Structure 1
Amino acid sequence: MDAGSFTYFNKSQSRNPLQEQIIRRRSSHENLDRFIPNRSAMDFDFARYMLTDGRVEKEETGVISPSREAYRKGLKEIFNMNRTRILAFKNKPPSPVKGLLSESISFGQQSKPVKARRHISQSSERILDAPDLLDDYYLNLLDWGSGNVLAIALGNTVYLWDASDGSTSELLTIDDENGPVTSVRWAPDGRHIAVGLNNSDIQLWDSSSNRQLRTLQGHQSRVGSLDWNNHILTTGGMDGLIINNDVRVRNHIVETYRGHHQEVCGLKWSASGQQLASGGNDNLLHIWDRGMASSNSPTQWLHRLENHTAAVKALAWCPFQSNLLTSGGGGADQCIKFWNTHTGACLNSVNTGSQVCSLLWSKNERELLSSHGLTQNQLTLWKYPSMVKLAELRGHTSRVLFMAQSPDGCTVASAAADETLRFWNVFGAPEAAKPAPKKDPFSNITHTCIR
């Protein structure tokens, strides 16, 4: 060590505080200050030349001739002497193994594949006439079954449109005394269908044989909303009652929910079959729990939600979050609301600017489709959860009252008060479907009309 680098003291010498502080600081960082070159990576001959010979040559001659400069340059190229760094602190890193890392990886960051933006057609792919379609906001006259057959009620008649071949057939016609038809709903098997009537009856039909299986009674006025929970058919009427009917037994009424004091116009069971959402013309949204229904208080709701300021008809359960429910309000409300049905909390509310008639979740994307009344009479596609508008589909000239989704989740059928039925390729490509075991809740029903 160079003696000039530090000040040394013998035992007899005294140190002032500043000197002691400097000595302690240098001692504590001694290991950090010692940079030891990698001698195996050094070229001492080249270093000596650069430090001495080159400078001496310039000092002796003053000017280097062009020929000598060219000669020296050639020597550097031959002996790989055209370098700038003299001391090397680290060996040159080895070349990367080809194929070990992708060429798209840079500094530890891997580029993610960019998903191509899906094209959303702004026009309907097919238009069918729907004469005598009732312009009634509180009814539910359109449904698309798992058998890929669309059912639509036009006046007193229910028609079936087979999407596989485009054929149309008539399922039933009700006389004027009992009609018109006020609701239709396919059973999960895609073969049987429930039909609600203006006279308060509900008929069950077998679509494969065009035969009526039975008639269910229990309401005092028209039945405008229906939904299935396996073998339980839930019905909602203008009398404000919600009735669970077990279609397998003669005494079919198993539970009755009382909470609405005006017409029940929206009914939807959750995918688990545990919770039922009901909306009414009294601006109320109720969440019912089957666990509570089977207890001593069968008529007690789980949540009574009063946030809407108009009739609540549009209801849709989220397919990827079991406790997320979406509801839409009528003309005086115009809002789409999102609910946590476990807690009853309103998670978000979006004012759409027009009457919300129906709601559908995409089965393939995190998207929500809503249909509306005045002034645009449009279908609006929303990105969830940002609720950014992805597209607005126009073509109907009157309010779009009903929507139904194809079994593969791609196509949406919309029926409007302009008496047309339009088909839109609005949602993304379907995912690979997993075969599910078929259940037949009608195995115990005899093919006779039981009243």
Structure 2
Amino acid sequence: MDMDYARFALTGPSRPQRDGSRESPSSVAYQKLLDDCILKNSSRILAFKTAPEAPASKLPQFDEPIRPQKKQQRRIPKEPERVLVIHGLLDDNVLNLLDWGSNNVLAIGLEDAVYLWDAANESTKVLQPVEDRGPITCVRWSPDCAVLAVAFGNSDLALIDPATGHFVDGMEDENQAPVLSLAWRSNSILTVGRFDGTIVDYDFRKDDMFICFYNGHRRGVCSLKWSVLSGRYLASGGQDKLVHIWDACMPVSRHHPRQRQWLHRISSHTSVVKAVDRCPTRSNLLASGGGCNDHCVKFWNTINGACLNSIDAGSEVCALLRDKNKSELLTSHGPPNNQLTLWNYPSMTRVAEVFDHSSRVLSLAGSPLGGVVASAAADETVRFWNIFETPKIIKPELPFAQFNVIR
């Protein structure tokens, strides 16, 4: 480490010993003092600061495969995070009494009131509609959650402002059949499915609210789903064991209906089809579930009407819910187990099953934030499950972050 001494030791002439065979005591003492002061009892000139490499015995051999670390599996709880006891929830599998809006408020239709639960602050509110209209048969938030559509047993339909509880608009017609299902096509156009099998689009901005008529079901329409991406195709399931796929670009007058208006009529189910849901990322994929005499979950290509897969779930399929962030499907069932089953798509292998309801699970609704699912059952309870994988929050990238220098 001493460059002056190193130069001298390499270039200087070595001095011969006086007697030619042994050094004098003074020379030995001087050499020892030189070693202590200059070399500091070290024979190394260069010092290594980094650790030495591992010996060859510690390195993996070519005949030993390197095992990758196993991915930590997601833990799915077997018990609900919260339980709401709701008195007055009707035990009817053709009704739609649960909906979770984009405002993070869960609407629950009871026999004579609408129960609102705000998930953000865990507050509750009860909307008391006008009496003598019969039990509530369906509730549905508009896409912007400005109004809540509520259908009654006497065929009336009301749009309610959730902030004030007042009626914004509505429709009263005693000659119409009761409403079983609702689906918003936009913030102003509402699709209504009735007990007599009729499906009608209404635009509440117009004096004559009627837009078009869908003729095909022979009995009550208990499920309606618009395509998420395009908003053009409508899927409907009914008590007549049929599933229809409609095209909104084929409007039909109520006074001059076509004999055949649907794009595809699916008649493979052998029981009531109330469980219908679309894939949030693939608009041409539809899932449907059969009732107590069917037990099957089927997948359809809405372009050509072909059946892609059919799985026997083992019991009545009351509701379907697709995960928005992952390829998973949640189904709710009736007796004997009244369970929730989580499936992995497209393999349709059971990921998990949870058993906590004492009666059949009538409806499912997913949180707009992802992760949490609410299930309403005939045991008059609504249970919240953290069953879907919570999406990771991605921080927005700063503008021009890919540039190091901006001139």
Deviation at 1:428, TM superposition (A): 0.4
Deviation at 1:431, TM superposition (A): 4.4
Cα 1:417–1:111, aligned 2, differ >3 Å: closer, same or farther?
A: same
Say whether the 8 Å CA contact 1:174–1:180 is kept in structure 2.
no
Say whether the 8 Å CA contact 1:405–1:412 is kept in structure 2.
yes
- Give the paired residue count: 330
Say whether the 8 Å CA contact 2:371–2:391 is kept in structure 1.
yes
2:327 maps to what in 1?
366
Residues 1:254 and 2:211 are matched in the alignment: yes
Say whether the 8 Å CA contact 2:214–2:252 is kept in structure 1.
no
Equivalent-residue separation in structure 2 for 1:297 and 1:236 (angstroms):
17
Residues 250-269 of structure 1 deviation map (CA, whole Å, 9 limit, x = unaligned): 21110111111101101111
Which aligned pairs between 1:271-290 and structure 2 lie closer than 5 A? 271=228, 272-290=230-248
Equivalent-residue separation in structure 1 for 2:67 and 2:192 (angstroms):
52
Residues 394-419 of structure 1 deviation map (CA, whole Å, 9 limit, x = unaligned): 10000000111110121100010001
Which of these residues, 142, 149, 152, is aligned with residue 197 of structure 1?
152
Which of these residues, 84, 92, 99, is aligned with residue 136 of structure 1?
92
Aligned with 2:202: secondary structure?
strand
Equivalent-residue separation in structure 2 for 1:268 and 1:240 (angstroms):
15
Say whether the 8 Å CA contact 1:286–1:304 is kept in structure 2.
yes
Cα 1:331–1:251, aligned 2, differ >3 Å: closer, same or farther?
A: same
Equivalent-residue separation in structure 1 for 2:213 and 2:126 (angstroms):
33
Amino acid at match of 1:227: A
Deviation at 1:221, TM superposition (A): 1.5
Deviation at 1:182, TM superposition (A): 0.2
Higher deviation after alignment, 207-216 or 321-330? 207-216
Residues 1:310 and 2:276 are matched in the alignment: no
Cα 1:169–1:344, aligned 2, differ >3 Å: closer, same or farther?
A: same
Residues 347-399 of structure 1 deviation map (CA, whole Å, 9 limit, x = unaligned): 01111111100000011211000000001000000000111000101100000
Cα 1:217–1:268, aligned 2, differ >3 Å: closer, same or farther?
A: farther
2:116 maps to what in 1?
160
2:198 maps to what in 1?
241
2:318 maps to what in 1?
357
Deviation at 1:112, TM superposition (A): 7.9
Deviation at 1:209, TM superposition (A): 2.1
Aligned with 1:293: secondary structure?
coil
2:294 maps to what in 1?
333
Amino acid at match of 2:158: Q
Equivalent-residue separation in structure 1 for 2:285 and 2:67 (angstroms):
33
Query: Please, what is the CA RMSD of the aligned residues?
Result: 2.4
Which of these residues, 163, 171, 176, is aligned with residue 216 of structure 1?
171
Equivalent-residue separation in structure 1 for 2:101 and 2:193 (angstroms):
20
Which aligned pairs between 1:2-401 and structure 2 lie closer than 5 A? 115-175=71-131, 177-217=132-172, 220-230=176-186, 231-271=188-228, 272-293=230-251, 300-401=261-362
Cα 1:259–1:113, aligned 2, differ >3 Å: closer, same or farther?
A: farther
1:26 maps to what in 2?
none
Equivalent-residue separation in structure 1 for 2:157 and 2:370 (angstroms):
28
Residues 81-119 of structure 1 deviation map (CA, whole Å, 9 limit, x = unaligned): xxxxxxxxxxxxxxxxxxxxxx99x99x99988643111
Say whether the 8 Å CA contact 2:213–2:257 is kept in structure 1.
no
Residues 419-439 of structure 1 deviation map (CA, whole Å, 9 limit, x = unaligned): 11100000001244899xxxx
Bigger radius of gyration among the two = 1
Amino acid at match of 2:215: R
Gaps of 5+ in 2: 1-58, 397-407
Say whether the 8 Å CA contact 2:224–2:235 is kept in structure 1.
yes
Cα 1:238–1:306, aligned 2, differ >3 Å: closer, same or farther?
A: same
TM-score normalised by L of structure 1: 0.69
Residues 152-179 of structure 1 deviation map (CA, whole Å, 9 limit, x = unaligned): 011111111111111111123342x311
Equivalent-residue separation in structure 1 for 2:348 and 2:359 (angstroms):
24
Cα 1:372–1:434, aligned 2, differ >3 Å: closer, same or farther?
A: farther
Query: Which has a greater percent of helix?
Result: 1
TM-score normalised by L of structure 2: 0.77
Say whether the 8 Å CA contact 2:321–2:366 is kept in structure 1.
yes
Sequence identity (%): 52
